[in-house]
Structure 1
Amino acid sequence: MKDYLIQLLDYEQWANLRIINALSSQPNAPERAITIMGHVLSAQQVWYSRMRQESAIQPIWEDIPVSWMIETAERQHDQVVSYVRILTMEKLNQSVHYVNSKGMAYQNTPLEILTHMSHHAAYHRGQIVQLIRPLLAEAPVTDFIIWQRGE
């Protein structure tokens, strides 16, 4: 299970970098696309903090300049992969308590949170591709199966 989660995180990083590189290639990338990618990265950091049961000091809609996104994505990928590697299967399935951005208390397992993070990012990457497709000769493809094939 942990190997699968790390594989999913590696895919996530690949897909995020494809989107960030596409945004970086456009001198006039839509502001909404940049905002959404910033949200993906901010939300990942917030969820990582929640899994570790640390206070999340970062807003989930933080403005992150495109020039910082690759470094941010790489740092966060390394953090989350390192965290998953040290988790026992018991801890992976043990609920953690956290408070969401509206102050409401919840609990989920790290496995559920990691699954959510992947689906959340995929949803938003799709939004970004829709926004930038008209600006590009070829929009970035971020499908898991494409990554799996090494294309």
Structure 2
Amino acid sequence: MKDYLIQLLDYELWANRRLIDTIETVDNPPARAMAIMGHILSAQHVWFGRITHASIFVTIWEDIPVSWMGETAERQHRQVVSHVLGLTESELLQSVSYVNTKGVAYQSSLIDILTHLSHHAAYHRGQVVQLLRPLIAEAPETDFIVWKRS
């Protein structure tokens, strides 16, 4: 299971980097595209804080300058991968207690949280691509299967 999660995290970084690299080529990216990409990255940060019970200093809709996005994605990938590698297989199945942005308490397994993050990011990356499509010659492919084939 741990290998699968690391694979999922590696895919996430690859897909996010492809989208960030595309955003960097656009002279004036749409504000909504920037906000959504910032949301993907800040939501990952917020969830990592929930997983590790660390203090969180960002919101899930944080404005992140495009010049910081690549570094942010790389740093968060290293943090989450390091955390996952430090856990036993049984710890991956244990429940994590957290409070959502509305103050409601929940418990979810780390596997479920990381799966959610992957699906959440894929959904929003699709939105960003739709916003960028009129401004770019070719939309970046960020599908999991494309990553697996490469």
Normalised by the length of structure 1, the TM-score is: 0.97
- Consecutive aligned runs of 4 or more in structure 1 exceeding 3 Å deviation: none
Name the SS for the 1:73 alignment partner.
Answer: helix
Residues 73-129 of structure 1: CA deviation (Å, up to 9, x unaligned)? 000000000011011112111111111111111111111100000000000000000
Gaps of 5+ in 2: none
1:63 aligns with 2:63: yes
1:31 aligns with 2:31: yes
* Distance across 2 between alignment mates of 1:54 and 1:67: 25
Gaps of 5+ in 1: none
1:46 aligns with 2:46: yes
Counting only pairs closer than 5 Å after superposition, residues 65-84 of structure 1 correspond to structure 2 as 65-84=65-84
1:113 aligns with 2:99: no
* Distance across 1 between alignment mates of 2:113 and 2:56: 15
Who is 2:125 aligned against? 125
- Return the letter of the residue paired with 2:78: D
Name the % identity.
66
Who is 2:89 aligned against? 89
Name the SS for the 2:102 alignment partner.
Answer: coil
> What RMSD, in angstroms, separates the aligned Cα atoms of the two structures?
0.7
**How far apart are residue 134 of structure 1 and its match?**
0.8
Who is 1:144 aligned against? 144
Normalised by the length of structure 2, the TM-score is: 0.98
